Structure 1
Amino acid sequence: MGFRQEKPAGEGRMRGAAKPAHSWAADVGPGLVTIASDNDPSGLATYTLAGAWYGFDLLWVCVLTYPSTVALQLIAARVAAITGRGLTTNMREHYSPLFFYFAVARFVVANTFNIAVDVLAMGIALKSLFGGSLAWLALASGCASLVLQWGIDYARYARILKWLTLAMFAYVGVVVLVDVPWRLVAIRSVMPRVVWTEGYMTMLIAVLGTTVSPYLLFAQAEQQVRNAEGRGAGRGQTLNRTMQGVRRDTLIRTVCSNAVAICVMIAAAATLHLIEQTPAGDAVQMSRVLEPLVDGYARHVLALALLGSALLALPPLAGSAAQAVASSFHWERGERRDRRIAYFLVATMAIGMIAALVLTAYHVEPVRALYWSAVVNGMTVTPVLVLLVLLSSKREAVGDLAAHWALRALSWLATIATAAAVFAHFVLELP
């Protein structure tokens, strides 16, 4: 299959022929997680529903979780850079099999469900653009994504597909055009308004699940493992320089991603909530948010945003899931391990496509499916966050270079917030 290993970071970037994406699946990295893949169709649907159902009440999540989201990514990168091993490998060595396999299982299940709804979203997008059978379009788009991952370097096709995601900036245009109560937006962005209802708590879990992306943490760590191979020991000035670069990139990437999420939520709140008075729980047509800007072309613009973001998000989703499964076993790094990871990637994508076909067969509303994918992420992310933060303070894992107390405090804050939201949801469900 012509696997080619990437040069370690210390030896410079690859030159000449591009590295196939099926080899890339073994080293999913933060450079591949763009604004679009952070805000995949599941995220777009969740932020749209949050604005349509609850107005500006959930803006604070995207603002106040920013420091914690950055801290979690930095901890994941630091642990991997120091130990030279990914998160799943570290968790396997320092925790009981029960907790470890539970965390890996929830990660793989959540990613697979996310893949399924993103494939479904691509089918919806193609149907909006060209018409046809949703089932066949979803299957075709899923297969196209798998072919791209298998045969073409991610960076090469991302340079083309990223232009599709310019459609996301239509939400910024809507925010500029419509009448937005900016004073209320400012207040709701920094002062949490919590409504003690089951519906609100479910939405809070969904927004947390798509904002604190679990797969991003595994991807961040695995990239640092590749970089550490080039540095050798991974300590001293080289480590400090590396972490400075990671810190800068993480700060910029996360603020851009959260800014897009905020614009989507504000646009939906200003149109569907304030103007159309959409009740919580009602069906929402996502394209209506964009009508103030593009009018009759709203569904086409939305289709481009869904298609581009899904194609860019699927490789990190499938690759990080395959990497997590591979790290559950004592496989030495090398070509043989990369082949196995590639096979896991194919299997994950195949299961995701089958699940997408099942959703179409049962006529599940696509927006609801995308939303519940975020809910699943939010409900199951807490164990992974707990293990990650505990791992960052283990001397036997990271020696004297344990993560800074401020990073751990911010990470614990996000962990406690997600756990509290799930607990509140459970209590509100009780008769």
Structure 2
Amino acid sequence: MNRHPDKQALRANDKRTERPARSWAADVGPGLTTLGTDNDPSGIATYTLAGAWFRYDLLWVCILSYPSMIALQLISARVASITGKGLTDNMREHYAPVFFYFGVARFLIANTFNIAVDVLAMGTALHAVVGGSAALLSLLCGAASLVLQWCVPYARYARAVQWLVLGMFGYVGVVLWLQVPWHTVAIRAFVPRLVWTKDYTTMLLALLGTTISPYLLFSQAEQEVEERKEGAPSASSARSDQELRKLRKDTALRTALSNAVALAIMIASAAVFEFSHPSPGERVRLEHVLEPFAHGFAPQVLALAVIGSALLALPPLAGSAAQAAASAFDWQRGERRNTRIAFLLVVITAIGIALAVAMTMFSIDPVIALYWSAVVNGMTMTPVLVLLVLLSSKRAAVGDLVAHWSLRMLCWLATIVTGAALVAHFIVEWV
């Protein structure tokens, strides 16, 4: 998943004269904000189920994907910095319409579903703490998120909301509290154990979909465009060598933080469910993982982490989908485009809220819904990654400043792995 360096965005967003309908998709701050955005409720549920159902067998995904995750983020930022355009704008300009519109449709469908399940997760988590109607609480949580997005610049409210995701460190407490077979963890973290079953390949797709999340890559590119427009140091040209070094360092550190928490969730879940051993597809209570550390306050700790991460993730989810739609309509950048994007953002978020309320009324298990949101991301991301990597080496787009071969190699590796996982899933599904 993407780690968004904030830089000049904090300064620009705090101006009272700015319209709140800016490209919030690009404004993701450092530290806890990055942690919450990367590990949204869908990620928390997926990592928990991976540990509960498959124990330590899938730890390698977070470790071995780390270099490719960094490379994908750096390429996204590089393309936008050189061209001064977002990834969807570049794809519209350099690819056949069928590929471009596939990418747009993918964002609208996958992101809207992700918004819906994140809102559902907030309502369900709050229901577990205070009681009441889960449907009404989901509606109120979604409305609160929409009001915050419209009235408060993202960077400003993220500085307050980000403290809620401290609840995620409860998983670290569980790992330190329980007796964990560290020799098994070390082996499984670096040596993949492949099992050719439908449940395993589906979970692999879900982990890839929530770890390498395309919407955050596109948000990173939009941030580069906004920085150029706001007169940041890179506004007149591509990033300098010093800026690129800082970007690489920030990306590596924030990716490491996010993946470390993901590993903690998986290890804690595997240790907690070691003896009960739920089988794939069996229902798992997310708060149960935190009980060895938080005891009777486990639902409250989980609620803080879920609500905080959802509030941080919803703006870039809606924003990247709105930006993709804006590129599909070929709207020129300016105040009129910003206003239209703001309208699309509200519409997309409202649809997600309506879907969340509908799911509560039909008694859909929120944990399974969160998991399948990650699966949808994993199933639809491979073509988008292919277009991104090809774009980074397309001289018609970036001229002579094509991405370094090592970055392209790591990105192709991630693309091939996601594609292979998808093919394997369909083979075991139908054969």
Determine if the TM-score, normalized by the shorter chain, exceeds 0.5: yes
Distance of aligned partners of 1:15 and 1:52 in 2 relative to their CA distance in 1, 3 Å threshold: closer
Distance 1:16 1:10 in 2: 10
Q: Any conservation in 1 of the 2:23–2:222 contact (CA below 8 Å)? A: no
Q: What is the 5 A alignment of 1:365-384?
A: 365-384=365-384
Paired amino acid for 1:127: H
Distance 1:183 1:260 in 2: 19
Paired amino acid for 1:31: G
Aligned-pair CA distance for 1:19: 4.5
Q: Tell me how large the CA RMSD over aligned residues is.
A: 1.8
1:234 to 229, 232, 237: 237
Distance of aligned partners of 1:95 and 1:285 in 2 relative to their CA distance in 1, 3 Å threshold: same
Could you say which residue in structure 1 is the equivalent of 2:120? 120
Could you say which residue in structure 2 is the equivalent of 1:247? 248
Aligned-pair CA distance for 1:114: 0.4
TM-score using structure 2 length: 0.94
Tell me how many residue pairs correspond in the alignment: 420
Paired amino acid for 2:110: A
Could you say which residue in structure 2 is the equivalent of 1:17? 16
Distance of aligned partners of 1:56 and 1:10 in 2 relative to their CA distance in 1, 3 Å threshold: closer
Could you say which residue in structure 2 is the equivalent of 1:56? 56
Q: Any conservation in 2 of the 1:20–1:149 contact (CA below 8 Å)? A: no
Q: Any conservation in 2 of the 1:75–1:403 contact (CA below 8 Å)? A: yes
Could you say which residue in structure 2 is the equivalent of 1:391? 391
Aligned-pair CA distance for 1:15: 5.8
Distance of aligned partners of 1:167 and 1:397 in 2 relative to their CA distance in 1, 3 Å threshold: same
Q: Deviations over 1:212-264 (max 9, x none)?
A: 011111011011112233344414xx533332222122111111111110000
Could you say which residue in structure 2 is the equivalent of 1:261? 262
Paired amino acid for 1:342: A
Q: What is the 5 A alignment of 1:316-327?
A: 316-327=316-327
Distance 1:18 1:174 in 2: 46
Paired amino acid for 2:67: P
Aligned-pair CA distance for 1:354: 1.2
1:28 to 17, 23, 26: 26
> Matched residue of 1:22: which SS?
coil
Report percent identity of matched pairs. 60
Q: What is the 5 A alignment of 1:401-416?
A: 401-416=401-416
Could you say which residue in structure 2 is the equivalent of 1:3? none
Aligned-pair CA distance for 1:400: 0.4
Paired amino acid for 1:186: A
> Matched residue of 1:31: which SS?
coil
Could you say which residue in structure 2 is the equivalent of 1:417? 417
Distance of aligned partners of 1:308 and 1:48 in 2 relative to their CA distance in 1, 3 Å threshold: same
> Matched residue of 1:23: which SS?
coil
Q: Any conservation in 2 of the 1:20–1:151 contact (CA below 8 Å)? A: no
Paired amino acid for 2:237: G
Select between 13-22 and 370-379 the one with higher mean Cα deviation. 13-22
Distance 2:182 2:17 in 1: 47
Distance 2:9 2:163 in 1: 31
* Structure 2 unmatched ranges of 5 or more: 1-6
Q: Any conservation in 1 of the 2:114–2:373 contact (CA below 8 Å)? A: yes
Distance of aligned partners of 1:16 and 1:382 in 2 relative to their CA distance in 1, 3 Å threshold: closer
Q: What is the 5 A alignment of 1:179-328?
A: 179-229=179-229, 230=231, 231-235=234-238, 238-272=239-273, 274-328=274-328
Aligned-pair CA distance for 1:350: 0.8
Q: Deviations over 1:341-360 (max 9, x none)?
A: 00010010011011112211
Could you say which residue in structure 2 is the equivalent of 1:5? none
* Structure 1 unmatched ranges of 5 or more: 1-7
> Matched residue of 1:281: which SS?
coil
Could you say which residue in structure 2 is the equivalent of 1:426? 426
Select between 367-376 and 154-163 the one with higher mean Cα deviation. 154-163
Distance 1:72 1:310 in 2: 23
Could you say which residue in structure 1 is the equivalent of 2:4? none
Paired amino acid for 2:247: V
Distance 1:315 1:11 in 2: 15
Aligned-pair CA distance for 1:18: 7.7
Q: Any conservation in 2 of the 1:20–1:154 contact (CA below 8 Å)? A: no
Paired amino acid for 1:399: G
Q: Any conservation in 1 of the 2:72–2:217 contact (CA below 8 Å)? A: yes
Aligned-pair CA distance for 1:29: 3.5
> Matched residue of 2:411: which SS?
helix
Paired amino acid for 1:137: L
Could you say which residue in structure 2 is the equivalent of 1:334? 334
Distance 1:177 1:48 in 2: 17
Distance 1:174 1:10 in 2: 36
Q: Any conservation in 1 of the 2:52–2:269 contact (CA below 8 Å)? A: yes
Distance 1:318 1:94 in 2: 25
Q: Deviations over 1:190-219 (max 9, x none)?
A: 000011100000000000000001111101
Q: Any conservation in 1 of the 2:146–2:349 contact (CA below 8 Å)? A: yes
Distance 2:371 2:104 in 1: 22
TM-score using structure 1 length: 0.94
Paired amino acid for 2:343: Y
